[in-house]
Amino acid sequence: MRDWVVGGALIVSDDGLLLVQNRRRNGSHDWTPPGGVIDAGESLIDGLTREVEEETGLRVTEWAGPVYEVRCEAPDLGWRLRVEAHVAVSYEGELHVDDPDGIVVDARFVDVGACAGHLDGGHPWVCEPLSDWLAERWDHAESRPYVFLVAGAEPADVVVTRADLHP
């Protein structure tokens, strides 16, 4: 099993929530909050700060969180994912896309009411926690867990289910 640790950034301004458009290996595009895989030996906050700056040009100077954590397991595809989403309390810089990995192709602040349209068709482990947080805006003292299981060996045919943490 390959294990990934990912940091997700929730950056809100008067213009809305910052989302980035990602170009995937299969040529498809989706929208997510900025962030990415944390490098070995790097703290989650240091890696998240680095990823946000690489993808958007913004430098976050203060974080709060995590406000939610996602665990996702895809045994048939051979991977596990853990995501921590943190809120940017303060940041500086000008928004511009210059992703060294070539994945992020656009970045913009999206009115919160329009976020659902941008997230439509995205992975449930991205969309569900983010949509819940946008609707309720709880703080890190109430951090919430989300668990998903991805079944199937072909990425195009997988079935994603959310685990019930409270029987």
| This model's pTM is above 0.85 | yes
Q: Give the rounded distance of the alpha carbon of 79 from its chain centre.
A: 17
Q: Is residue 59 part of a domain?
A: yes
Q: How much is the pLDDT for 156? A: 80
- 49 assigned to some structural domain: yes
Which range marks the domain in which residue 128 is found? 2-162
12 pLDDT above the threshold of 80: yes
Q: Give me the DSSP letters along 60-126.
A: EEEEEEEEEEEEEEETTTTEEEEEEEEEEEEEES------TTS-EEEEEEE-GGGHHHHHTTS-HHH
In a domain, 61, yes or no: yes
| Domains held by the chain: number | 1
Kindly list the strands in the beta sheet with 144-151, ordered across the sheet, starting from the edge strand earlier in the chain: 35-37, 2-10, 79-92, 59-74, 144-151, 159-162
- Structural domain contains residue 38: yes
CB proximity list for 167: less than 8 A, separation 6 or greater: none
Q: How many CB atoms lie within 10 A of CB 120?
A: 10
Q: Is residue 142 part of a domain?
A: yes
What confidence tens digit (pLDDT) does each residue in 13-62 have?
A: 999 999 999 998 888 889 999 999 999 999 999 999 999 999 999 999 99
163 touches 149 (CB < 8 A): yes
Model pLDDT for residues 99-125, shown as the tens digit of each residue: 888 899 999 999 999 999 999 989 999
Is there a contact between 103 and 23 (Cβ–Cβ < 8 Å)? yes
Which CATH number does the domain housing residue 16 bear? 3.90.79.10
For residue 167, being part of any structural domain is answered with no
Convert the pLDDT of each residue in 58-84 to its tens digit. 999 999 999 999 999 999 999 999 999
Report residue 155's pLDDT band, with 50, 70 and 90 as the boundaries: confident
